[in-house]
Amino acid sequence: GGFHILWNWPQTMQSASDSFWKGSTPSTSPQAQTERLKVRLAGYPRKHNEGRVELFYKGEWGTICDDDFSLSNANVLCRQLGFVSATGWTHSAKYGKGQGKIWLDNVLCNGGEKSIELCKSRGWGNSDCTHDEDAGVVCKDERIPGFVDSNVIDATVDENRVEEVRLRPIVAMAKKRLPVTEGVVEVKHKDGWAQICDVGWTIKNTRVVCGMLGFPHERKVNKNFYKLSLERQKNHFHIHSVACTGTEVHLAACPMEFSKPNATSSCEGGMAAVVSCMPGPLFMQNSGLKKKLKTSSNVRLKGGARLGEGRVEVLKDSEWGTVCDDRWNLQSASVVCRELGFGSAKEALTGGRMGQGMGPIYMNEVKCVGLEKSIWNCPFKNTTSEDCQHMEDAAVRCNIPYMGLENTVRETWYWDSSNVTEMVMSGVKCTGNEMSLSQCQHHKTVNCQKAAAKFSAGVICSETASDLVLNASLVQETVYIEDRPLHMLYCAAEEDCLSKSAAKANWPYGHRRLLRFSSQIHNIGRADFKPKAGRHSWVWHACHGHYHSMNIFTHYDLLNANGTKVAEGHKASFCLEDTDCQESVSKRYECANFGDQGITVGCWDLYRHDIDCQWIDITDVKPGNYIMQVVINPNFEVAESDFTNNAMKCNCKYDGHRIWLHNCHVGDALSEEAEKRFEKYPGQLNNQIS
């Protein structure tokens, strides 16, 4: 319920040898052994991987003094924040002076400690420094694999004031339905819930409350209707005189007054504050309204693990692009969230935390006030490639309404021999965007031949996944036709890389006509792409001299206007490895010597146009206009955060001698209209020859 969103170091058990700590006693308190120490970066201006170090101890945030500070200290702190290591540290309050306590001074780490509190120091709160000496760190912009807590730009709100807020429905009808959109505003107080006095309450306050609860808009409420029922109830007014501006992302950030601890909390001339919120289309019960209130069609979220989170993408000139994270904050993030039918932003994430986009970067230094209808209405700078790279793609986590969906399913051991034998669903087909399984396509009546418990479906959940995407412009740049003699194709025939008619050819005389191109497959997700099959079941390909870990990794096809295959294409099996990576990312996978196979986050696997099977056999294809299509991971064998970008299509013009590709693009790169135009006139959109 708290509003600070922080880094927490994953809980590690103290081993016995740890407790016999050698050297001087570390400044650990009993609480350190049970609670994870919270660490955050703060200050301005800064990137997401640098800042003033702040520690949360005994209920308050404080800083570290720069006396005796070292790179070893910075390494411990950066790892605690989820980065692999530190590249530097700063002194003399480079990121601005902190406030409150200076928690640690003369800190001396060896560099291997699990947490800064295990390093030698003068002890908690014992320092002779001022905030002019606040230390900062610069971390290497590479995350520890599997480190879940995200890097976050923090909202400065006082945690001790308002933590949890809820709407308590009064009307009988409202009590039965979720989400709750109207009711009395209540705040968590001691062990119960308290009300807010509505004297001076404005619609701006309502906007903030609705945003926190996952609703984009506020509605006027009929106070008289509530007056009678509320007068009969005993109220405890803990807060009064709330004065939000409407741009806050949490009620705790608004000015307000608290009742004195022992005073009788009255609300002269007022009653308990009641609000009414308007849910976004996804969460509406009334389908008529749903259609009328379509959410924005020129902003979207990609690559998130849950509803209401993801990398921010905006549409311009029919092509989707990303937003750079310079000055990205909760106000701008909230405009995006509300525009998409969610509430205000819970987190504004930087540094490509929800995976990196491909294609253009359209905006930088977005500065929304927080009341704008769309991110396009906010001041921003157009980007140049010098300003920004996809490593800086901005993302959001939005507040979404509580729907209680988690109570309709239960993450049980599925070889359990319990008495749960009844199958309730079969034939389930989801697109992946549904809020619950019941919204997915499935059989009207359950049709399951094998009804024993061991045939029931199970899942393994993960916070992060890979996301593969093909470099479309490289396909367009490298395409050509080769007439290859059959005597050079024995290996390829064995690998099933030619169309069926090749079997009838007069081997080794004659040739096959091949459409060749390079495939460069990037992993832009948040986890490495690894083959589903264990290495014991990989297949040795003597022709190519290495193991293939995935039987069907891509489909290569040539389609005509109505989507029928004109060239058989083929299903390529691959050996997966890191050919190259972005700077600051190191290669992990290679095919040679029965090595580990996969594609690391931030790396790509390149299949050059001149290697075996990197083609479509078009020997039997007549001249005409076609669509060339490449689909990666077509059977969804390996988890990805986004499957909409797995297909790449090009317009293709073949005159019997030469071939031209144009408008090569990944499946989700264009607007709906542009995609329709593309499908309608294959090969005829323009006559430019690229």
DSSP, collapsed to helix, strand or coil, labels residue 672 as: helix
Residue extents of the structural domains in the chain: 38-139, 159-279, 298-399, 468-680
430 or 262, greater pLDDT: 430
- Distance between CA atoms of 471 and 491, rounded to whole angstroms? 27
Cβ–Cβ under 8 Å, residues 549 and 575? yes
Token code pair at residue 342:
């969610």
Residue 193, H or E segment? strand 192-196
Same fold, 38-139 and 298-399: yes
What pLDDT is recorded for position 287?
Answer: 58
The answer to whether the Cα torsion of 353, 359, 364, 370 is positive or negative is: negative
Confidence at 289, pLDDT banded by 50, 70, 90: low
pLDDT digits (tens, 9 = 90+) for 33-58: 446 788 999 887 777 889 999 999 99
Q: Quick one: residue 320, left, alpha or beta (phi over 0 = left, psi -120 to 50 = alpha)?
A: beta
On average, the pLDDT of the chain sits at 85
List the beta strands (DSSP E) in 560-680. Answer: 565-574, 580-581, 603-607, 615-617, 624-632, 647-654, 659-666
The answer to whether the Cα torsion of 615, 617, 622, 627 is positive or negative is: negative
What pLDDT is recorded for position 172?
Answer: 72
The CA–CA distances, whole Å, from 9 to 37, 38, 154, 280, 626 equal: 7, 7, 17, 35, 53
Q: What are phi and psi of 363, to 5 degrees?
A: -130, 150
pLDDT digits (tens, 9 = 90+) for 510-540: 999 999 999 999 999 989 999 888 888 888 8
What mean pLDDT comes out for the span 323-346?
Answer: 95
pLDDT digits (tens, 9 = 90+) for 59-77: 889 999 999 999 999 999 9
Cβ–Cβ under 8 Å, residues 661 and 475? yes
Confidence at 174, pLDDT banded by 50, 70, 90: low
Q: Which fold has domain 159-279?
A: Mac-2 Binding Protein (3.10.250)
- Distance between CA atoms of 592 and 575, rounded to whole angstroms? 10
Residue 370 burial by Cβ neighbours in a 10 Å radius (0-12, 13-18, 19+): buried
- Distance between CA atoms of 218 and 181, rounded to whole angstroms? 9
Q: Does domain 38-139 have CATH number 3.10.250.10?
A: yes
Angle at 45 between CA 43 and CA 49, to 5 degrees: 75
pLDDT digits (tens, 9 = 90+) for 91-143: 989 888 998 999 999 999 999 999 999 999 999 999 999 999 999 999 988 88
pLDDT digits (tens, 9 = 90+) for 2-37: 333 334 343 333 333 333 233 333 444 444 444 678
Q: What are the b/e assignments for 180-200, b being 16+ CB within 10 Å?
A: bbbbbbbbebeeebbbbbbee
Task: Examine the pLDDT at 414 and tell me if it is beyond 80.
Answer: no
261 or 219, greater pLDDT: 219
What pLDDT is recorded for position 681?
Answer: 60
- Distance between CA atoms of 648 and 507, rounded to whole angstroms? 34
Share of the chain above pLDDT 70, in %: 87
What pLDDT is recorded for position 265?
Answer: 65
pLDDT digits (tens, 9 = 90+) for 560-599: 888 889 987 777 777 889 999 988 789 999 988 888 899 9
The number of C-alpha atoms within 13 Å of 456 and in the hemisphere containing its C-beta is 18
End-to-end CA distance of the chain: 55
What pLDDT is recorded for position 279?
Answer: 94
What is the CATH number assigned to the segment(s) 298-399? 3.10.250.10
What mean pLDDT comes out for the span 241-247?
Answer: 94
What mean pLDDT comes out for the span 168-195?
Answer: 85
Residue 138, H or E segment? strand 136-139
DSSP, collapsed to helix, strand or coil, labels residue 412 as: coil
Inter-residue long-range contacts of 186-189, CB under 8 Å, 24+ positions, other chains counted: 187/162, 187/163, 187/238, 187/239, 187/251, 188/1, 188/162, 188/163, 188/164, 189/236, 189/238
What pLDDT is recorded for position 467?
Answer: 94
